[in-house]
Amino acid sequence: MDERTVYAVYTNTDLTEGRGRQYVTHYCETEATARRVGSRGYVMGSD
């Protein structure tokens, strides 16, 4: 069986205060891609 590490990029439904629910926006095979895709995409523009 082939095992791989998968990185999940999360965001929040309420990007102003962060009181909403978290959900996955992307699944990535490399950490570098996950960091690039998730850059400035969380609450108040944070990483």
* Series of mean pLDDT values for 10-residue runs along the chain (47 residues): 93 87 95 92 79
Positive or negative, the Cα torsion across 38, 11, 13, 18? negative
The pTM of this model reads 0.78
For residue 37, what are the CA distances in angstroms to 3, 4, 8? 23, 19, 10
The DSSP letter of residue 17 is T
What pLDDT is attached to residue 22? 92
Cβ atoms 47, 38 nearer than 8 A: yes
Tell me, rounded to whole angstroms, the distance of Cα 46 from its chain centroid: 11
